[in-house]
Homo-oligomer: A and B are copies of this chain.
Amino acid sequence: MDDKLMLMIPGPTPVPERVLQAMAKHPIGHRSADFSAIFAEVTENLKWLHQTKNDLLILAGSGTAAMEAGIINFLSTGDKVLVGTNGKFGERWGKVCAAYNLDVQYITAEWGKPLDPNEFKQALEADTAKDIKAVIITHSETSTGVINDLPTINQYIKAHGALSIVDTVTSLGACSVPIDEWGLDVVASGSQKGYMIPPGLGFVSVSEKAWKAYETANLPKFYFDLGPYRKNAAKNTTPFTPAINLIFALHAALGMMKQEGLETLFARHDRLRSATRAAVKAMGLPLFGPDECASPAVTAVMPTGVEAEKIRSIMRKKFDIALAGGQDSLKGKIFRIGHLGFVTDRDLLTAIAALEATLQELGHTGATPGAGVAAAGEVLNR
């Protein structure tokens, strides 16, 4: 049915009605006191969500823009960087580094498996010359639904002294990323994920240590030069025209998140992850990636006996539910259920119920129809 779409993809995520309405307000001048007041409150609340006192800068651009800014502001041509890759986004950050002629050393894991913290430990301990200037890691790998052990890896980075540059695009807002407690240097994310607003804003938090590196970093940049963003943020403004209406939306969304509270917010995502995985197992579908490193934002399923794309197609056509497909080499092999942002227990039950009906239509015989909803319900009622 038209206008009945339900997003269960890892971005864009559903947007609350009151956020859409805030976004639909007439724009105001971005150099006005009224806008600065909103911008100040948004920045303050973003710091609350990011659990940091570091600078929190807002760019008009996607998550990739924020991550590129997070990389190029703190490094110089030829600098050695260690990049962890176990999915599409880890690979992308390697490509960004290559585009800027950085000397990239990869630590890889198979797509669907987590990065091994010990490999970082060894590589960093072996670098007694301290040639490695930064370590770049994707926290929640959106392409596979795997969350990497960031706190452990970051311990090794801190022991070495390199900067940590972290993609938290699908983890921030979905699970606790205590930036200051962990001591993360540069943390980048995007608006259409845990932040419950449409795409178009990128966020970068920057530690004092990273600002120190900024002073001597020589990679060319202008729009992405975070120095002017910092200087302007201190005056509650931006160096270039901000995406005003998305700031309105973020203002409303952060208000809702503050009302929910960090603990409840993270517990909700944790519950949705567990319920999704329990349901998928009960439906007799193989999960892609182990429980121990399951992302709170997105769950990947690698069905056998039924085609992933057929499942997606029926879910979309018959039930107006959008699921994500696999990317690159996983195209057609997996489907992904997004459960981050403005997603409730009811939404998850809805998606699971529709998935079971879809499996029935496809003649899937691996499990008793209804078992998925029962398993999800059991987790949700804990």
CB <8 Å contact, A223 and B29: no
Q: Spot the interface stretch: A40-48, A63-71, A153-161, A364-372.
A: A63-71
In the complex, chain B residues whose CB is within 8 Å of the CB of A246 = 198, 200, 243
- Partner of A243 from B14, B101, B241, B243 at Cβ < 8 Å: B243
Q: Which residues of B contact A9 (CB under 8 A)?
A: 29
Instruction: Determine whether the beta carbon of A198 is less than 8 Å from that of B244.
Output: yes
Residues of B within 8 A of A192 (CB): 27, 241, 244
Our pick among B20, B95, B244 for the contact of A12 (Cβ within 8 Å) is B244
A221 within 8 A of B: yes
Chain B residues contacting A25 (CB-CB under 8 Å) are 20
Query: What's the interface size class on A, roughly?
Result: 35 or more
A266 lies within 8 A of chain B by Cβ: no
Q: From the candidates B21, B60, B190, B244, name the one contacting A65 in the complex (CB within 8 A).
A: B60
User: Which residue from chain B places its CB closest to the CB of A4 in the assembled complex?
Assistant: B26
- Is the C-beta of A311 less than 8 angstroms from some C-beta in chain B? no
Known contacts A21-B24, A23-B24; A244 and B29 CB within 8 A of each other: no
A114 within 8 A of B: no
Q: Chain B residues near A30 (CB, 8 Å)?
A: 12, 199
Q: A61-B60, A220-B101, A222-B99 are in contact. Are A24 and B29 (CB under 8 A)?
A: no
Q: State the CA gap A134–B240 with chains docked (Å).
A: 24
Cα(A242)–Cα(B65), bound, Å: 11
**Given A64-B240, A200-B60, A220-B219: A15 and B26 interface contact (C-beta under 8 Å):** yes
Tell me if A7 is interfacial: C-beta within 8 Å of chain B.
Answer: yes
Q: Is A345's CB within 8 Å of the partner chain B?
A: no
A23 touches B61 (CB 8 A): no
Instruction: Report A330-363 CB contacts with B as 1/0, cut-off 8 Å.
Output: 0000000000000000000000000000000000
Contact A65 B199 (CB under 8 A): no
A12: which B residues are within 8 A, CB to CB? Answer: 27-30, 241, 244
- Contact residues of A with B, CB < 8 Å? 5, 7, 9, 11-12, 14-15, 20-21, 23-32, 60-65, 68, 95-96, 99-101, 190, 192, 198-200, 219-225, 240-246, 322, 324-325
